[in-house]
Amino acid sequence: MSDSVQSEQSVQSVQFDLDAYLRRIGWEGERRADAATLRGVQLSHMRAIPFENLDALRRQAPSLEEADLMAKLVHGRRGGYCYEHNTLFARALEALGFRVALLTARVVVGADSIASRPRTHMALLVEVPGEPRPYLADAGFGAIGALLEPVPLVTDVEFAGAGRRHRLVHVPHDGPLEMWVLQAHDQGKDDWADQYAFTLEPFEKPDFDVINWHIGTNPRSPFTQRVYVQSVSAARHLLLHGSLLTDTRADGTVTERVVTGEAEARRLLEEEFGIAVPEGMTLLPTGGA
């Protein structure tokens, strides 16, 4: 077999399978490049594919190659973290006819200042044909303040989507581009909480290859320290962080409990989060701490 034939077959083998992706997320709506489809596909993605850091917990940077993302997130009963989710989501949006740019953001949940955090989050800027402004879309933010539906890129307007409230604001900073901050409404405190900050400079795949390697392998990365998995449904947001399981219901009710050991942690991931735990992996430290 000639090298050219092998190369052509290799390219064909890794082509994005939109049908398989849409089956995975349960989307049966229109396949149009419009705002309704954008919102519906992101919400379906968020509710179907869990957020998880199992590769990073083993100090392995997960592959961002298209074929590997399809095998893991679409066919493999696994989830991923932001680079995996949003790389896959971006590819689906492009297949549906949207124009997508990759953005980097500084996660500022709980931070004293924006400048104290590096740019380690991937978000998407999506152009919708016929719409006057692009949308901020994001299927991979691993926090309860995550967008469940995209929002137009406009400041100081509150958006309600799938039971959550968000807005975008501008904040001053030293730099030539405007600094945007995504804020989520904290129902318990009846206040707005910063989620992440970003500018509109587009980044490319090689940039995220470097960031992904850092977050997935650095022993000081938060994702290499302890298990972090979440799932989202219409009824609740479920998070396992280390041994603490937090269940936040749609009405704002929060319950917490400590997972007592490895067997229970594996059962939770399999049954509650829909994650096939890799063979031989330890989820919790000895004693479940």
Identify each DSSP E strand in the chain by its residue range: 51-52, 99-107, 119-127, 135-137, 151-152, 159-161, 164-171, 179-186, 191-198, 228-232, 236-241, 244-249, 254-258
In Å, what is the CA distance from 279 to each residue of 58, 63, 216, 226? 12, 18, 19, 17
Residue 138: active-site member: yes
Residue 191 backbone dihedrals phi, psi, to 5 degrees: -150, 170
Catalytic residue among 85, 121, 166, 237: 121
Closest CA to 143 of 237, 53, 78: 237
Query: Catalytic: 166?
Result: no
Torsion of the alpha carbons at 90, 228, 208 and 20, rounded to the nearest 10: -30
Q: Across-strand partners of 110?
A: none
Q: 55, 82, 194, 237: which one is catalytic?
A: 82
- Catalytic residue from among 55, 85, 138, 194: 138
Q: Coil, helix or strand for 119? A: strand
H-helix or E-strand containing 24? helix 18-25
CA 21 to each of CA 68, 85, 121, 273: distance values in angstroms, whole numbers, following the listed order: 13, 12, 23, 18
Catalytic residues: 82, 121, 138
